[in-house]
Amino acid sequence: MATRGVPGKLLDVVGEREGENTRLGQAFVLFGLLSVVGGVGLLVLIETFEFEPEAFLTYQRIGIGVAGYGLPVFLYGVVVLGGGGRRETEAALVGGLLSTFAVILFVIAYSGRWEALASPAYTAGALSVYGFGTTLCSVGAGRAVFPEGAPDDGGADPGADPGIEIEAESEFIWGDPPED
């Protein structure tokens, strides 16, 4: 997607709530879900059947990478579909980029048999960056779906004292009451 030389244009296009962005959000959500399911499915497949050691390692890296990348893509799609504002979109975008970097670092760090003790610095760093990135994506998705100040309990006043009941209206506001 080209930005036509205007800084921030990509975020403005993704942040809009009309037409194509709904399709874009749906595409991200679908791609994210399929990536997670496909990556986990590939991992189950390679654990079920025997492969040569080199092929096993290659398929294992692909499965982990695809599954790990699917979660932030899914969350970014939720932000786009939820009509997140500029802050939510930017948080999810930065989180997605951090998660992508962490997945790449994770795949590179495990050149051997997926042992955490072989390269603990890369392991801790990759998991920390991935956790921070997915947290940013989750916060963006949460704020896009549940904006601040939206009533979550059917319209009750969030600042009201729960022990005080509000009396019902005793008169009709418009017109006369119906005849029984």
The rounded mean pLDDT for the chain is 75
Mean pLDDT of 130-136: 92
Q: How many residues would you count in the chain?
A: 180
Give the N- to C-terminal CA distance of the chain in Å, as an integer: 64
Task: Classify domain 16-145 by CATH architecture.
Answer: Up-down Bundle (1.20)
Question: CA 10 to CA 13: how far, in whole Å?
Answer: 5
> What percent of the chain shows pLDDT beyond 90?
16
Instruction: Write out the two tokens for 73.
Output: 């893509």
Could you give the CA distance from residue 20 to residue 122 in angstroms, rounded to a whole number? Answer: 39
The SS3 call for residue 180 is coil
* 30-73 per-position pLDDT tens digit: 999 999 999 999 989 988 888 887 888 788 888 888 998 899 99
pTM surpassing 0.95?
no
Could you tell me if 104 and 59 are in contact, meaning their C-beta atoms sit under 8 angstroms apart?
no
**Mean pLDDT (whole number) for 144-169:** 59
- Which of the four pLDDT bands, split at 50, 70 and 90, describes residue 1? very low
Lowest mean pLDDT among 2-11, 45-54, 133-142: 2-11
Convert the pLDDT of each residue in 74-91 to its tens digit: 998 888 888 778 888 888
For the chain, domain boundaries? 16-145
- The confidence score (pLDDT) of residue 132 equals 93
Dihedral of alpha carbons 153, 145, 102, 48, sign: positive
